[in-house]
Each structure stands twice: as structure tokens, then as C-alpha cells.
Structure 1
Amino acid sequence: MAASSNAEQTQLQDMEEENAGMEEREMESDDDEEGMGVEHSDEEEEDDSSEDEKENEAEIQRLEEQLSINAFDYNCHVDLIKLLKQEGELIRLRKARQKMSELFPLTEEIWLDWLKDEIRLTEEEPNREKVYELFEKAIKDYICPDIWLEYAQYSIGGMGSPGGIEKVRSIFERALTAVGLHMTKGQTVWEAYREFENAILSTVQPPPGRIPSREEQELLNTQLERIHTLFRRQLAIPLMDMEATYAEYEEWSDQGVAETVVHQYKKALQQMEKCKALEEPLLAAEPPKLTEYQTYIDFELKEGDPPRVQITFERALAENCLVPDMWAKYNTYLDRQLKIKDLVISTHERAVRNCPWTMGLWKSYLLALERHGADHQTVSDVFEKALNAGFIQATDYVEIWQAYLDYLRRRVDFSKESSKELEELRGSFTRSLDYMKQDVEERFGESGDPSCVIMQIWAKIEALHCNNMQKARELWDIIMTKGNAKYANMWLEYYNLERSYGDAVHCRKALHRAVQCTSDYPEHVCEVLLTFERVEGSLEDWDVAVQKTETRLNRVNEQRAKVAEKEANLARQDGDRAEQRRKTKAEKKGQKKGHKEFRPREKRKAEQDDYHNEWKEDSAPKRHRGNKDQTAEECMETETGLSGRNAPPGYKPTPPSVKKAQEAAAQKQNDDKPELRNDNSSVFISNLAYTLEEPEEKLRTLFEPCGPINQIRPIFSNKGGFKGYCYVQFEAPVSVPEALKLDRREVEGRPMFVSPCVDKNKNPDFKVFKYNTSIEKQKIFISGLPFSCTKEQLEEISKKYGTVVEVRLVTYRSGKPKGLAYVEFADETQASQAVLKMDGMEIEGNKISVAISNPPRRNMMDKPGSSRPMTDLMPRQVYGSRGRGRTQLSLLPRSLHRQSAPVSKVENGNAATAVNTAGEAKPLSNSDFARMILNK
């Protein structure tokens, strides 16, 4: 074994001599170039290198400073490590890698680079233990065959030390346990192990011609049996190219292959053929291959072989380490099936290191620690880490506190009046309430626990286990002061607690307070109070209860009547305003028509003839009004309201006479059909495209399956264009619910909105925005798409990252695309993968932005009669790691924003208004406009 060490030293010396020789040859070549007259500017090269070093050092310092502010910036860690490696800063590089390893699990590539650097730095024998420790950390992050193979090969270099050979075998055995079942890469570990044993065999074989001694023969037989055993073990496992291994064993073995080995080999070969059908899609798919791995895992779970299930999960997680659902599924399997403490705890720890923002993983981690008897300090430390993990919802903090408080409650022996565990439980309840008030509310703008669930649990524990109803009542007083006194269910919870653990006096008191304060279901609490007095009350108690409930219900009915009257007045006022607007519009139209009649008939006819003649010319003549250089094509007005070059090809404008006839027909069509609002057998259709052709026929085809249709009334503008909405009247009201099921049905690329015909003035709640305004974790929002991108093209791109349920391109009412889209996946895991892979992708030269769909809340005016006042609306969530999204920008044109500073003069005379010292717009005078024209 010493010979092996000496051979390594000799090899290192040879490498050093070779490097020295190369340096000498380089120096000689430099001298030759100087002799040939080649001039070098050493000073310029030194200046350039020094400038690069300064820039790199400045960038390193910037990255280090950024990490001091936010240590959880993963990309910043990666950039710093790359830059330090490029500069050769080995000491700082080691520290940077260590810091990153403490916070994040490192990828296979980062670990291999680190390990190879450390191996080169620690060539001396005494330092091998530090590299072993680093390998032990590396194999805990992910189950990677390449890292295990590097670990085993490195250990071979130390087999000359005492116990070195046994250490190598121990590492190889651990590697086989971890990755020996890997279908595609496990074979390399088996082959390396056999090569090592074959090398040992060559050292124990006697020289040719010499008869070995008894001890040598025993040693030789033992080594041969080791290699036989390795072959047998490998052939019993389904691996790729196992036929080549079998052929190699047949050639190597002098005794032939035993029948038992053949039988096991054939059985493994059959299993390999089954798995091959799942391996081939994995090889063909592109990362992260989530769907293929899910199919593979389901197959192995049905097979029920725990080691194979485990290695399949590990393979999937190596490529999908940021998928919380995959970790949760793996943890559940280990918790319920294997139940091996070390394996379960380590996997839970790896899960929260990869996905620290997922509360469910921390919660299951705490339960696993308690289930396997971890000490109290360990559980508490994990809980503290969970609080600092940075959850994305306020409710996540409530759930993790509940999990920890449940754990503390299970530790308490309530047979004792007081104990250290009970005091810790009460202290933790108090701390949780302070944490919700200070940390969570400041971060999210909401408590996350509006119903005070934590306090309710605390009150129940005090009442049930501690017989301390006084403390329970104090807690419920606090609960009611937090805005819960108006809810009947909260009072009934308190009443049930008093009913179970309190007395009749406090039950009666709680119900009397409930009757006084409840605003959502006062009739119900009144009925509960009367029922209670029927069972336990005296005649005096009954009379008081009847009087109190009657008084309360009379007051409630009066308030409801006032609200209904107020709503009716508002509806009447709105109707009067609408009628006044219609009258004003009609008067203006009449005045305009009267002015036209005073114009000479000949002049009007001449102007019309000139207008028609202009558009008849083929060479796009100039118009006699407006800019002289402006062609007719640039001035045309399209059906969609676009002008100039935005007009569709081949568009011909409608002559005024035809337009007038169309307007008259549209007005007649709108006037002839009866009004369908407030009709129980009608529905209102909106959000249709303006360019929809024959809307009546298309809608009839869609809604005929819902029931017999009386009529369909599309609404047209005065110019004859479809306005994008209509009414559908059925013959019977029973057809309306069926029609409402067609809400969001896509019609020519736009979701059609189907609503019941109601009076929105009398039903203000109906005005609430119908789209979901909360975060949609299974749906992604894409912006920056090219206008030419089609639905099919986007679906083809998206389905690489999961199962696409629906793709919706956002368009204007005219049908023109906005460059925005929503893609809904089967679950939030696939959506998160799509965000990671698609964000920043280029499509036809456009760089797209992708994020989880989080629609902004619609602005709701705090009007009388509105169901939700502005004070009840919570601010939107913090923008998050991606910064402020484009959809969160103000859509108000800059020209309409109020100027922050007063403008003292008009620049260049081009402004239509000036701003006085008070910041108000001041209209320009006639002289101002004259100056503006003269300046031009």
C-alpha cells in the first residue's frame, strides 16, 4: 500500500517538472520573439490587467455588500462564487461557498467544483479528513451518483493509511445503498466498485509458477468471492445495459453462472423492460421532466418496492428541487411507509432548505420531529427557523403557530396544577398574539387570524384542562372587541363554551349581549335565547328575554326598511338623471338637425359630391382639408375606431349617405325591440368583440340548448356598429340558470360574460368585479408577447412545463391583441415551474415576462348603498421578489396627472393651458392662442 502512496508522489513530481519545463519553453519563446524584433508593451498589458482586477474587486465588494443586506439572495451567491473562482481568491472562495451551503442546498455542479478545488488544495495526507467531511455534507443535499462516485474514487487515494481499504469498501457500500438502483447512472458505481476489488485481487494473486501458501489461498478465495458477490448483486437489480454486465460475468467466471443467478438476472431483466418504457420518455423530455417523473413515481408506488420508490423520488427531486408538492409527497411516503427516523428527519430538513417559503413543509417537519421523539430544544429551533422563512401569506403564520402550540399542549401534564410546560404553553400563546399583531400585521396589512382562532383554542384549553373559566372569559372579551361582536356564530361559540364549562348566569349574559350586538343573523340568536329560557329560565327571565328580543327585532326591521327606502331613492335619482341625459341628448340632436336645414341645399349637395369624388380616385389623392401631405389612406377611419395605417387592408370607407341609413336602421332596431332588463327570463351578454359578425345567429346557436328563445337583442351604436353586448330572452325562467352556466365561454377569442338581468341600482352587490382578485397559483400571467403570437403557438410552448388546461390571449374589444395572455395549468406546481423556465424567454424577438396570476383588486367607490366600503378593502400584497409588475402601474396618462410644481410660463407657446401659483389650470386667452399661431 505504501507503494501506491509513493507512486502518487512520483506522479506529482513528474507533473511539477513538466510544468516547470513548459514555463522554461515559454520563456525561451519570448526571448526568441524579442530577438526577432517583436516588440511587447509590458506596461500596457500590466495597466489592462490592473484595471480588470480593480473592476472585478469592485464587483466582488458590491456582491458581498448586497449579501450582507440580504443573505438569502441565491443568484448573488452564485455570481460571487464564479467571480472569486475566476480571480483565484481561494480563501475567500471557500468562505463564500461555506456561507451559501449554510443557507441553501448546493447543486451537483457547485458541489463537484468545490470538492475538486479542495482536493487539489489538500494533497497532503493529514488534510484528507477535511475533504471527507466536505463529501459528507455534499451527499446530504441531493442523492447524486456523480458525487458518490467522486467520493469513492477520492477515498481510494487514502487506502494506504491504516484501515484505508475498509473505509473505501464502506463508502462504496453506502454509495450502492444510495444510488445503486439508479436505472441510468447506478451501473457506473457498481463498475467502479468491481474495478477496485479487481485491483485488490491483482495484489493478492501469487506470481505465475509459485504455489500459494494456505493463508494466501484463503485470502485469494475471499477476494474472488467478493467479486462474485458484486456481480450477483448487480445482476439482480434492473439497470440499463445489464446484458453487457451478464456477458462480462460469464467471461470472467471460471465456474460459470449459477442457476440462481440466472433466475434473478431474468427477473431483473423483465423489471428493466417495464421501467424502460418509463425511462425512454425521461431521456427524450427536456428538464424539469415533472410530468414524466410523476408517472414514474406512481408506477413505483404501485409496485411497492421501497428502495426503488425512494431512488425515483430522489431522481425527480434532483431536477425539481423547487417543487413543494414533490417534497410533500415524498415526506408523506416516508412518514407513513418507511418510518426510518434518520431518513425521515433528513428528508424533511432537505425539503425546508429547498422550499423554505412553503409552510406545509415546516409543519410536517415539526410533526415528524415530535413523532420520532426529538428533544424539545430541537423542535423549538426548527420552529424559530420557520418563523424566519418568509411565508407569502399571513394565514401561513397562523397555521405554523397552531402546529407549534399543539405540540406544546401535548407536552403538558394537566393533572398537575402548575408545571414548567404549562407556563411555557401560556407564554407561547401570549407571544403568538403579540407576533400576529406586530410582525404579521405590519408585513401584510392584516392579522391573518380575523376570527381569533388561536385565542379560541387557548380559551378552550383553559376551560377544559385548567378549569380556569375566568381566563377563558377574559380571552373571549378580547375576541369580541376585535370586531367579532357583530357575528352570530362567534357569540354562539362563546355560549357553547359557557354551556359546557361555565354556568347558567354567564350563559344568559352571553346571549343577552349577543341579541344586542349581532347584526348578521339577529333572529337566530334571539331564538337561541328564548330556547335557553324555556329550558332553564324563570318566568321573570322569560319576560325579560321576550321584551329584549322584540325590541331588538323591531329596531332591526326599522333599519332594514330605511335601507330599502334609501336604495329606492337612489334608484329613482339614477333613473331621473338618465332620463335627463336622454332629453338633453335629444335636444342637442334636434338643434344640430335644425342648423343643417338652414344651410343652402345646393351647398350641401356640392360638398357631398366633392366628398364622394375624392374617394373614387385610384391614386389616393390629397384631401383639401387638413395637412396637405396627408393621404386619404392615412385619414381613413375604420370600424374599430383606428385611423391611418392601422386600417385593415382593402378597407373602403362608407359614404355618408350609407352611414346615415345604417344609423337610422340601428336606431330603429334598438327602438323596435322591447327592453329586456328586469326580466326573470332574460340574461345579459357582455364582453363580446365589436367585430363579431351576425351576433344574433351565433348567440342563438350557443343558447338554444338552454331552452326555447323568445328573442335576442344585440345592441348597436348610432353608426351601426355592434357594441359588444346584447340581451337574450327565453320563453321560461327555468332556462336562465342553464344560460348562466355558459359564463366565461370563449367566443372568437374572448370570454363571454353571462349575467342575470337585474336592476343594478337596487342590487349594488351585483357590481362587484366577477373575476377572481386573489392570487391564482395554478395560472400564470404573460406579458410582452408579440402581437402575431397565436393561441396554439403559446399552448405548444407552455405544455413543455405541465398539463395546460386553458390558454387565453387578451385582446381589445376590436379583436386586436394586447400582447398579454393567461395560461392555466393542472396544478400550482406546474405553474411555478413554468414561471421559472419561461420568465425572460424570447418569442419572435420579444422578451416575455411571466408571473403567477395575481389580478389587482378593482377600485370600488365608497358610495351610499355599496356593499363594501373603501375602508374594508385591504391593500394588495407586497410586490414580491420580482418587483412591481407591469399590470400594477397606473393606467392614467401622464398628461392627466396633476403637476406637482406650478408652471410659471408657457414653454414655446405650445401649451393649451397654463398653471397659476395655486396649481390650478388657467385657460389661455385669445391673444395667447394668436401668439401660438404666429410663432408657428
Structure 2
Amino acid sequence: MAAPSNAEQTQLQDMEEDEAGMEEREMESDEEEEEGMGVENSDDEDDDSSEDEKENEAEIQRLEEQLSINAFDYNCHVDLIKLLKQEGELLRLRKARQKMSELFPLTEEIWLDWLKDEIRLTEEDSNREKVYELFERAVKDYICPDIWLEYAQYSIGGMGSPGGMDKVRAIFERAVTAVGLHMTKGHMLWEAYREFENAILSTVQPPPARIPSREEQELLSRQLERIHTLFRRQLAVPLIDMEATYAEYEEWSENGVPETVTHQYRKALQQMEKCKFCEEALLVSEPPKLAEYQAYIDFELKEGDPARIQITFERALAENCLVPDMWTKYTTYLDRQLKVKDLVLSTHERAVRNCPWTMSLWKGYLLALERHGADHHTVSDVFEKALNAGFIQATDYVEIWQAFLDYLRRRVDFSKESSKELEELRAAFSRSLDYMKQDVEERFGESGDPSCVIMQIWARIEARHCKNMQKARELWDNIMTKGNAKYANMWLEYYNLERAYGDTVHCRKALHRAVQCTSDYPEHVCEVLLTFERVEGSLEDWDVAVQKTETKLNRINEQRTKAAEKEANLARQEEERIEQRRKSKSDKKAQKKTQKGIRAGEKRKAEQDHNQDEWNKDSVPKRHKPDGDNATDEYMETETGLFGRNAPPGYKPASGGTKTPQQGPAAPTQRQNDDRPELRDDGSSVFISNLTYTLEEPEAKLKALFESCGPIKQIRPVFSNKGSFKGYGYVQFESAASVPQALKLDRQEVEGRPMFVSPCVDKNKNPDFKVFKYNTSIERHKIFISGLPFSCTKEQLEELCKGYGTIKDVRLVTYRSGKPKGLAYVEFADEAQASQAVQKMDGIDVEGNKISVAISNPPRRTPMEKAGSSRATADLMPRQVYGARGKGRTQLSLLPRSLHRQTTPAGKVENGTAAERGSASVSSEEQAAGESRSLSNSDFAKMLLNK
């Protein structure tokens, strides 16, 4: 925009004075009205406001005291600034902001508030330089387009001062260089820059009726070329809505858009299309968008454009300023690729201000300072700040000291016997040891350097560079007194140092001390001593070495033997304690089981005695009345086999066709006693299961379901002893060609439950047969989703996943009842699509549920576990021993002894007819004779009355 002229400024000031006068008159009239209404309300308001001011002042003082104790309390700084701004304490507010900016980088919002306040307070040109300095500090913390735009617009106000126009252009140039590549906000800077130049253009154009002079024409041409250049530069950068900029250039340019500009524009447009998916991911994600920025940075690193890589890092760090890994990745890139001093050092400085607790960032900062030739005073200041940063572990202080000592060692010229740098290095080594002993040990309760790495480095420097073995030996003696004498590797380090820079006497002395003190690897130290004496020693030295090594090894073997015996005794005692606890637990369990069985037996005997009494009462036969009055429902068995309501316990009718008053016209047991063979492994049958037990007319229902598959030979649903449907059965077709069509109906819903359809296979002959193969290997093309809402359908899930690739199959996991478990498997065409789906879908919300998505990797089953069985030991217990439902709880019979059947082959009783099962309870004489007949009323009476 163009700068306002002096006349316009005078007019604006007059308008502001008129508005101020009107406001004062309105306030005076309001005050008069309030005086007429009364003074009580104003007094109350004054009291309330004074109380609020006192409370705010007390809170301000509390926050200032807290900051005096802990100046690094970030939230305390923010709260204090808010309160001071609310109270209008401008001087204190400026001081609080200044103090916070010295300790922390300020966010974009805090900087903009501060800058706007300072701009409002600055009315004279003499104070504009202070605002410029504040802007310069603001743009260094983060790369923020809004701050740069505010900076450029503010500079336009000073355009009338000497050199003001050049200063505005310089700020705009810095702004487009810093954030002009920002794909979503960079266009604001370019458009503001062009708007400014267009405003200048309007001032240099001559009036329409006058021919411009040569100087005016040159000035006009230069200004037009500036605008052309800005258009060309902007169209060469991939930015959002760059099509509108191109259309504006076409309209503005009198000679059209040059071909070279069009070519650059299309190239930038293609680049924007390549980056579009990253920008869209940022738009739909929520802050801090760390994963999306990581993917964006990786994409730009592959593209290899340094400017775009830099702006992407800056955008990521503006929202993830407290992520040390992001700063490490950025600084490493700058150190190894760009290597621009100002950019590298400023980024390192920002990194340690944002994450001061991260030692690696300070270490990288020190190396960068040395790499770019910073002066010694600057490096020392940075190191002192690092020591006060407050690292989270003791070893961090060892590493930062090592980095600083390495820097000091590289400054020393060891060709001189003494120098200022050498003395400074030795003083730093001495200070580091004191620091580790006093500050670090007191803070963390540990030294942080148990192996005395710093002291070892110092000893090597003294021996290697300074030729001062006396100092090196003193340092190693100090190292050994700090608990390191028992480690063989420490003695061997010292021995190698003596071998390289010492003499034979001290080498032998070191090895003899090592043999005496080492406890972790004494054999190795003894071997080194003997090898040394073979090369360097005399016979006397050899004899002494052999004697010492033998004595040491014998003592070590005795100690190891005692330790092994002690460990074995402890292990044996532990085993005895475990065995004793196991035995005690089993005894308690057996005792509890015996008591429970006794109580159950007493209860069962009482019930049997009661039933016997009831049977004795009702054993007298009653006849029907002659007049046909059937008021009584008491019956006894006749040739037709009828009983009354008090049938004897354990009674079962002899045939399925007998009718009783309770059973009505059709006895349900007739179905169970069907003599048709079971349909197994015949090639033309299927097994149906998981049907609801309350299914009415199962034969008709199954016929309606499967008649479309082909001609049906027979349908056999399975019923219980009481006549209720057990939820499964068999369907036999006339042709085996109908079986594949029937298997396609697997999982079809029948009255709210998924019906299972599987091949009819005799599992006794095919024990390893399984319809569903449980996959135990990782399936990289398939994803597993958990946490789905129970209302989610297969179609909804397919719609959710189809955006990430080609879907081959979707399977929702349900219970046997058909109710969903909230789990699903989705199979994609390849591994890449599945990986992309995991990355994008994991953690998203689906109808208020946060789902988890991972590559399908089912857990491996234990070797003892068998498919279709919930117990690993199910095959170890014969099923026929304990009945159809396995082992009972008490193992005691619930029938009277007189009603117990004789043992018969399981297969005969299971597959025999009702008459055969009835004959199994007759006497042994009848069985021997081979007789088979139905039991009469007198037979039952004899059995029940027999004692």
C-alpha cells in the first residue's frame, strides 16, 4: 500500500480529535445521568473494583516471588504477563516480557501481542528503532509468516524517513526469502510485496495529459520491471492458489505472459501437485501433527531441494518445538548438507533454548561452534549454560564434559612444553573431577562416571602428549581406589599404557597388582602375566609369577566351590519349600473335597428316602370310575405302559410310540430314538450347527434353506432326551454335487444367529480335520482392526478402508450367537496398501470409538492346544468314562443302586434301540440266557423294594 501524505495524516489526526471530543461529551452526559440516579451504585462499583485490583496485585506479587525462586517456570511467566496486561501495568508488563524472552523462545501469539502493544505506544519516529529491534528478535525465534507480514507492514509507516523505501524493500526481501516458500501462507508475503510496489508505481506514473521526461520514463520502467520480477519469482514457487496469481499476471501484463514464465509456472504447479498429499494430510490432522510433518520432511529430503527442506523443518518445529529428535534431525542436516554458518549456529542456538534438558543438542552446538571457528569465549559461555541447563541423568554431564575437554585438547599445541592452553586444559580436567564428585553425586546420588572415563583420558593425554608418566600413574592409582581394582579390563588398560609409554618395571608391578586384586577374570590376568614374563622376565621373575598365579587360582577355585555349594543349598531349600506348599495345598483340597462329598451323599440319601416313601404311598392301583368320571389323574401301568404323575424315579418308557397324559399326542423322545443312521463321511451330506435352540420345526426350516442347493434325500435335526432341539443336525442330498452349493450358505443368519455349514466328516476317522485353518504366521497384506463399534457393518468398514487400496475381503468377527466382538480383518491386494492403511487408520475415531489397526499376526498356539477345544488336555481323558459332558463334580451316582444298569459295551448301548437299553437293567441270569423283554410293573416294584 502507498504511504499516506502529510495532508492525509493531518486529516486523519483531525478526525481522531473530533471522535475523541465526541466520546468525552458522551462520557460527561453519562456521568450526569448517573449522578441524577444516585451515588450508591457508583460507590459499590468502586468498592468491587478496588477489591479486584487488590486481589490481582496480590496475585502479581505471588507470581513475581515464585519466579524469583524458579526463573524457568514457563507457565508462571505466561500468567504474570496476562495479569499485568489486564491491569494496564505497561512498564512492568514490558519488563516481564523481556525477562521471559531472555529465558525462552516466545510463541507467535505472545510475540504478536507484544509487538502490537509496542506499536500502539510508539508515536514518534525516534522510538521506531526500538520496535525494529523487537521485530528482529521475534523473527529469530521461529519462522512465522504472520510476524514477517506485520514487520513489513510496520516498516511501510516509516517509508517517509531517509532511506525508508529501501528499508521496506530490504525487509520484504528478507521476508520472502524466509517464508516465501511456505506453501499455504507464503503467498501473503508475495502479494503484500507486490501491493507495495504497485502503490509506488502509482506515484511515479505521470498524469495522462503530460508526456513524461526521460528520467520519469526510466523511473517508470524500473518500477514496472520490479513488479514483473515479483510476478516471475512468485510463479516459480509452488504455492496454494497460484492459478489465481497467474491469471492476475495475465491481466496485468500488457504484452502477455512470457513463455519462460509460463514454463516455470507449470513446473512449480507440478511440484505443488506432488506435495499436495502432504499438505492435505496436515489440513485434516490435529496439532501437533508430528507424524504428518515427519512424512513431509522425508518426502522433501528425497526431493533434495535445500530451501524446501529448510522451510518444511521450520514449519514442523513451529508446532513441535519441544521435540528434541526433530531439532536433532534438523541440525544434523544443516551441519552435513548446507553448512551455512549463520543458519547453522542460529538453529543450534534455538534448539538448546527450546529443549535445554537435551544433552545431545548442547553437544552438537559446541561442535558446530568449533567447526565454524567461533571464539573461545563464546564456546566457553555456551558450555557454562549447558552445565546449568538441568540434565535428567548423571551420564549426560560426563558426556558434555568430554565434549568440552575434547575441544580444549584440540586447542593445545603439545610441541611446546608449557602453554596457556595446556594449563587451561589441565584446570578443566581438575574442575570436571570436582564437579562430578560434588555437584553430580549430590544431585543424583551417583557419580555418573563409575569407570572414571574422564580420568583415563587425562592420564592418556599426560602420557602420550605431555610425556608425564608420573602424573598418569597418579591418576591410575586414583582410578583403582574408586572401586575399579577388581576389574581385569581396568588393570589391562593401565598395563597397556605402561607398555606404550612406561617401562618394564612398572609393567610387572601393574600385572602383579592385577593378579592380586582381580576377581572377575583372574585367569586372563594370570595368563597375561605369564606371557609378559616369557618375553621380558628372568627365571626368578618366572618362578615368582608362577607361584603367584597358582596361589591366586587355587584361592579363586575354593571360593567358587563354596559359592556353588551355597547356591545349591539355597536351591534345594527353595525346592523343599515349594514342595511343602504344594503338598499342603493338595491336602487341603482333598480334605475339602471329601467334606463336600459327604454332605452331598447325605443330601442325596435324604432325597431317596423321601422318594421311596412317596412311591410306597402311591403304589396301590386305582381304577377308572364306571360312570366315566375322570376326575382323578392317578394312573398305574397296564399293558399299554401308562403311568400317573408319580412315575418311579429313573423310569423311561419302553417304546417311543406310547402316549401318556403328560406327553400328549406325540412324544418328543420318538425323534431321539430314531433308528436312522447318523450321516457321516458319505460325500453327499453337510453338518449344520450354531442354530438357535428355540427353532420351531427345524426340519421344515432346514428344508426351506437348502432346497435351492439340490434335491434333498433326508434332513436329520438332533434332539435331546427331553425332546428339545440341540441346535445342530445333518442334511443329506441325493447328489454330492449339491454339497459345494450348501457350503456357500455358511454364516448365513438364521433367526439372529450365523448358521455354520461344514462338510460332514467323521472326526473319529479324520481327527485332524478342521474347516477353519487357524493361521499362525504374519499376514502382511491383511490388517487386524479392534475397538470397532458393535453397530459397524461390513459395508461401512469396506467404505472406510477402500481409500487406502484394493480390498479383497472384509470379515467381521462375531460370537457364536452372531453378536459382534468389535474386531475385523481386512485383506488388501498387496502389502504396501495394508501398511498404508495401518499408518493412516490407527488411532482414528469411528462413531466415537478409537480403533487400533495393525498388520495381522495371530499368536501361535501351544503344542498341547487342539483346534476346536478349549482345553489342551481334552484328548487325555476318555469321553465315554465320564459321559457326554466329561467328569462330574462329585463322581457319585445320583440313582439308587437298585436302578444301576449293568456294564455293557458303550457302542451297543449308545447305538441300540430303546428296548435294548431297557434290557440292560435286567438280572444277570436273564442276560446270560439271552432274553430280551420289556419290564413290567412288578419288575419295577421288585427293583425299588429290593434292599
Per the normalisation by structure 2, the TM-score is 0.62
Letter in 2 for 1:331: T
Is 2:176 aligned against 1:176?
A: yes
**8 Å contact from structure 2 (residues 398, 449) kept in 1:** yes
Equivalent residue, structure 2, for 1:14: 15
Give the C-alpha shift of residue 27 in structure 1.
3.7
Q: Structure 1 residues 529, 208: closer, same or farther in 2, change over 3 A?
A: same
**8 Å contact from structure 1 (residues 143, 315) kept in 2:** yes
Q: Structure 1 residues 451, 21: closer, same or farther in 2, change over 3 A?
A: same
Equivalent residue, structure 2, for 1:767: none
Equivalent residue, structure 1, for 2:818: none
Q: For residues 600 and 184 of structure 1, what CA distance do their matches in structure 2 show? A: 81
Equivalent residue, structure 2, for 1:139: 139
Is 2:422 aligned against 1:422?
A: yes
Q: Structure 1 residues 191, 531: closer, same or farther in 2, change over 3 A?
A: same
**8 Å contact from structure 1 (residues 5, 160) kept in 2:** no
Give the C-alpha shift of residue 193 in structure 1.
0.8
**8 Å contact from structure 2 (residues 3, 157) kept in 1:** no
- Aligned pairs (5 A) from 1:882-921: none
Letter in 2 for 1:516: Q
SS state at 2:547 partner: helix
Equivalent residue, structure 2, for 1:482: 482
Letter in 1 for 2:104: F
Q: Structure 1 residues 151, 601: closer, same or farther in 2, change over 3 A?
A: closer
Identity %: 82
Equivalent residue, structure 2, for 1:221: 221
**8 Å contact from structure 2 (residues 3, 159) kept in 1:** no
**8 Å contact from structure 1 (residues 469, 501) kept in 2:** yes
- Aligned pairs (5 A) from 1:208-247: 208-247=208-247
**8 Å contact from structure 1 (residues 495, 511) kept in 2:** yes
Give the C-alpha shift of residue 301 in structure 1.
1.7
Note the alpha carbon deviations across 1:677-699, whole angstroms, 9 max, x for none: xxxxxxxxxxxxxxxxxxxxxxx
Q: For residues 267 and 24 of structure 2, what CA distance do their matches in structure 1 show? A: 59
Q: For residues 14 and 90 of structure 2, what CA distance do their matches in structure 1 show? A: 23
Give the C-alpha shift of residue 570 in structure 1.
2.4
Letter in 2 for 1:53: E
Q: For residues 96 and 362 of structure 1, what CA distance do their matches in structure 2 show? A: 27
- Aligned pairs (5 A) from 1:537-616: 537-578=537-578
Q: For residues 3 and 227 of structure 2, what CA distance do their matches in structure 1 show? A: 24
**8 Å contact from structure 1 (residues 143, 178) kept in 2:** yes
Give the C-alpha shift of residue 609 in structure 1.
13
Q: For residues 844 and 88 of structure 1, what CA distance do their matches in structure 2 show? A: 45
Q: For residues 608 and 286 of structure 2, what CA distance do their matches in structure 1 show? A: 66
**8 Å contact from structure 1 (residues 180, 187) kept in 2:** yes
Letter in 1 for 2:21: A
Q: For residues 606 and 73 of structure 2, what CA distance do their matches in structure 1 show? A: 74
Is 2:73 aligned against 1:73?
A: yes
Equivalent residue, structure 1, for 2:84: 84
Q: For residues 178 and 334 of structure 1, what CA distance do their matches in structure 2 show? A: 16
Q: For residues 603 and 302 of structure 1, what CA distance do their matches in structure 2 show? A: 82
Q: For residues 447 and 221 of structure 1, what CA distance do their matches in structure 2 show? A: 73
Q: For residues 468 and 163 of structure 1, what CA distance do their matches in structure 2 show? A: 64
- Aligned pairs (5 A) from 1:722-871: none
**8 Å contact from structure 2 (residues 394, 444) kept in 1:** yes
Shifted more, 595-604 versus 317-326: the winner is 595-604
Note the alpha carbon deviations across 1:439-484, whole angstroms, 9 max, x for none: 1111111111111111111111001000011111111111111111
Give the C-alpha shift of residue 566 in structure 1.
1.5
- Aligned pairs (5 A) from 1:126-205: 126-205=126-205
Note the alpha carbon deviations across 1:542-594, whole angstroms, 9 max, x for none: 11111111100000000011111112222333344455556666787899899
Letter in 1 for 2:176: L
Q: For residues 563 and 263 of structure 1, what CA distance do their matches in structure 2 show? A: 83
**8 Å contact from structure 1 (residues 293, 316) kept in 2:** yes
> Over aligned residue pairs, what C-alpha RMSD do you find?
3.3
SS state at 1:460 partner: helix
Is 2:352 aligned against 1:355?
A: no
Give the C-alpha shift of residue 306 in structure 1.
1.5
Equivalent residue, structure 2, for 1:316: 316
- Aligned pairs (5 A) from 1:705-724: none
Letter in 2 for 1:104: F
Letter in 1 for 2:327: W
Give the C-alpha shift of residue 54 in structure 1.
1.0
Letter in 2 for 1:345: L
Q: Structure 1 residues 203, 493: closer, same or farther in 2, change over 3 A?
A: same
Q: For residues 70 and 160 of structure 1, what CA distance do their matches in structure 2 show? A: 46
Is 2:334 aligned against 1:334?
A: yes
Give the C-alpha shift of residue 104 in structure 1.
0.3
Structure 1 stretches lacking a partner, 5+ long: 611-738, 743-747, 750-784, 789-837, 846-936
Q: Structure 1 residues 524, 85: closer, same or farther in 2, change over 3 A?
A: same
Equivalent residue, structure 1, for 2:749: none
Equivalent residue, structure 2, for 1:53: 53
Letter in 1 for 2:25: E
Letter in 1 for 2:18: E
Letter in 2 for 1:98: Q
Note the alpha carbon deviations across 1:647-671, whole angstroms, 9 max, x for none: xxxxxxxxxxxxxxxxxxxxxxxxx
Equivalent residue, structure 2, for 1:462: 462
Q: For residues 505 and 407 of structure 1, what CA distance do their matches in structure 2 show? A: 35
SS state at 2:322 partner: coil
- Aligned pairs (5 A) from 1:388-467: 388-467=388-467
Letter in 1 for 2:443: R
SS state at 1:41 partner: helix
Equivalent residue, structure 2, for 1:620: none
Note the alpha carbon deviations across 1:134-172, whole angstroms, 9 max, x for none: 000001001111101100000000001111111111111
**8 Å contact from structure 1 (residues 324, 355) kept in 2:** yes
Give the C-alpha shift of residue 2 in structure 1.
9.2
Note the alpha carbon deviations across 1:588-613, whole angstroms, 9 max, x for none: 78998999999999799889999xxx
Q: For residues 77 and 23 of structure 2, what CA distance do their matches in structure 1 show? A: 36
Structure 2 stretches lacking a partner, 5+ long: 611-775, 779-783, 791-842, 850-947
Give the C-alpha shift of residue 30 in structure 1.
5.2
Give the C-alpha shift of residue 489 in structure 1.
0.9
SS state at 1:206 partner: coil
Q: Structure 1 residues 176, 561: closer, same or farther in 2, change over 3 A?
A: same
Q: Structure 1 residues 586, 560: closer, same or farther in 2, change over 3 A?
A: same
Q: Structure 1 residues 237, 605: closer, same or farther in 2, change over 3 A?
A: same
Give the C-alpha shift of residue 42 in structure 1.
0.8
Equivalent residue, structure 2, for 1:729: none
Letter in 1 for 2:203: T
Q: Structure 1 residues 367, 582: closer, same or farther in 2, change over 3 A?
A: closer
Q: For residues 587 and 533 of structure 1, what CA distance do their matches in structure 2 show? A: 67
Equivalent residue, structure 1, for 2:293: 293
Letter in 2 for 1:400: I
Equivalent residue, structure 2, for 1:24: 25
Q: For residues 340 and 394 of structure 1, what CA distance do their matches in structure 2 show? A: 34
Over alpha carbons, which structure has the higher Rg?
2
SS state at 2:390 partner: coil
**8 Å contact from structure 1 (residues 4, 160) kept in 2:** no
Letter in 1 for 2:534: R
SS state at 1:373 partner: coil
Letter in 2 for 1:287: P
Q: Structure 1 residues 377, 608: closer, same or farther in 2, change over 3 A?
A: farther
Q: For residues 608 and 143 of structure 2, what CA distance do their matches in structure 1 show? A: 83
Q: Structure 1 residues 550, 105: closer, same or farther in 2, change over 3 A?
A: same
Q: For residues 276 and 601 of structure 2, what CA distance do their matches in structure 1 show? A: 88
Note the alpha carbon deviations across 1:696-731, whole angstroms, 9 max, x for none: xxxxxxxxxxxxxxxxxxxxxxxxxxxxxxxxxxxx
**8 Å contact from structure 2 (residues 3, 156) kept in 1:** no
Q: Structure 1 residues 142, 452: closer, same or farther in 2, change over 3 A?
A: same
Give the C-alpha shift of residue 58 in structure 1.
1.1
Q: For residues 234 and 266 of structure 2, what CA distance do their matches in structure 1 show? A: 12
Q: For residues 579 and 391 of structure 1, what CA distance do their matches in structure 2 show? A: 50
Q: Structure 1 residues 421, 606: closer, same or farther in 2, change over 3 A?
A: farther
Equivalent residue, structure 2, for 1:384: 384
Give the C-alpha shift of residue 326 in structure 1.
1.0
